[in-house]
Amino acid sequence: MSEYQLAREIVERSVSTDWARAKLEWQLEEVYRQDEPETCLCGHFPINEICVLYNTRNGCRAEVGNVCVKKFLGLPSNMIFNAIRRVAEDHTRALNAETISLAHQRGWITDWERTFYLETFRKRSLSQPQLTKRVEINLLVLRQTSRVRRPGVGG
């Protein structure tokens, strides 16, 4: 894995021409797990936890591995993937605020669902209707963050 290769690739897809400014142009747009491994922009293979980044200045998109997003761009993808893994193993477990925020920003869940989840995600004991709703939202998020086969988004 080469942080220099990642920096070069990100700068190439950015308006700014230096790494310090270029990385500020990017935000986390989407995350997903994929069974078929891909190669990160840094050159690391295999990656299965994919982060789609969006450049707010020029509209470019790039797919990067979870480790690079966390380590070099400082985005909370690791927290999101940890929550997704936890919920995939047990649908009754709670997602975290970062995952709920991403799901809401992407339009996967409604304003009401976001509010409900944020009011209940730390509760250990939910009523049956609350638990049913949590599982429903969890399954929705899991469907949105799982890919069977997906072509690269590229720059």
43: left (phi over 0), alpha (psi -120 to 50) or beta: left
Please give the full DSSP string across 12-42, using - where no structure is assigned.
HTSSSSSHHHHGGGEEEEEEEEEEEEE--TT
Per-residue pLDDT of the chain (155 residues; tens, 9 = 90+): 567 899 999 999 999 999 999 999 998 888 999 888 999 999 999 999 999 999 999 999 999 998 888 877 777 788 999 999 999 999 999 999 999 999 999 999 999 999 999 999 999 899 999 999 999 999 999 999 987 544 444 44
128 and 83 housed in the same domain: yes
Q: What is the DSSP letter of 49?
A: E
Q: How many CA atoms lie within 13 A of 109 on its CB side?
A: 26
The pTM of this model reads: 0.79
Tally of domains within the chain: 2
151, part of any domain: no
56 and 87 housed in the same domain: no
155, part of any domain: no
39 and 92 housed in the same domain: no
Contact between residue 92 and residue 131 where contact means Cβ atoms under 8 Å apart: yes
Domain that holds residue 102: 79-144
Final residue in a domain of this structure, among 36, 59, 75: 75
10, part of any domain: yes
27, part of any domain: yes
